Amino acid sequence: MAARECSPCIRCREDVEISDAAVALRIDGRTVGIQPRRQSDQKQAYLCVECAIAIAMGRIEPPRTQPLTMVAHSIICEMVANDPSIVVAAWKQLRKRLELPASVAFPEIEILPPGDRLRLAT
């Protein structure tokens, strides 16, 4: 993981510590139709995983009058939908906030071949 500084979540303003899971949003500017072409440095902002999940689940609506925010919401929804690790990170963050142990022992899951499943159903 690349080094980063503690910075506030761009939505809830809670500190996103360097050891916290987060979604990084990078943005830069570039001229178009203007010569010579200029490009800004890239800036980075962080969104805590809890806010990322809330956005992806539609609990936080993007303001329709802010197109850049709508683009960010779309990116966040795609990231959360395509990778369950963000949901898992939010779950771990919740357990940490509630002062629960970091890990949970899940029962063993047995995957039955289709033939066995049919036999058990009858």
Distance in angstroms between the alpha carbons of the first and the last residue of the chain: 51
- The dihedral over CA atoms of 44, 67, 29, 6, expressed in degrees to the nearest 10, equals -10
Q: Are the C-beta atoms of 18 and 6 separated by less than 8 Å? A: yes
Binding to Zn ion (CB under 5 A) within 63-92 occurs at: none
Task: Kindly state whether residue 12 participates in binding Zn ion, applying the rule CB under 5 A.
Answer: yes
Among 9, 54, 55, 90, interactor with Zn ion by CB under 5 A: 9
CB of 22 to Zn ion, least distance (A): 8
- The answer to whether residue 48 forms part of the interface with Zn ion (CB under 5 A) is yes
Is residue 11 a contact point for Zn ion (CB under 5 A)? yes
Stretch that binds Zn ion, among 7-15, 18-26, 61-69, 86-94 (CB under 5 A): 7-15
- For residues 17 and 22, what is the distance between their CA atoms, to the nearest angstrom? 9
Continuous H helices in the chain: 49-56, 67-82, 85-97, 114-121
- Among 51, 53, 80, 86, contact with Zn ion (rule: CB under 5 A): 51
Type of residue numbered 12: C
Q: Is 56 in the site for Zn ion (CB under 5 A)?
A: no
Nearer to Zn ion, 7 or 70 (CB): 7
Catalog residues that contact Zn ion under the rule CB under 5 A.
9, 11-12, 48, 51
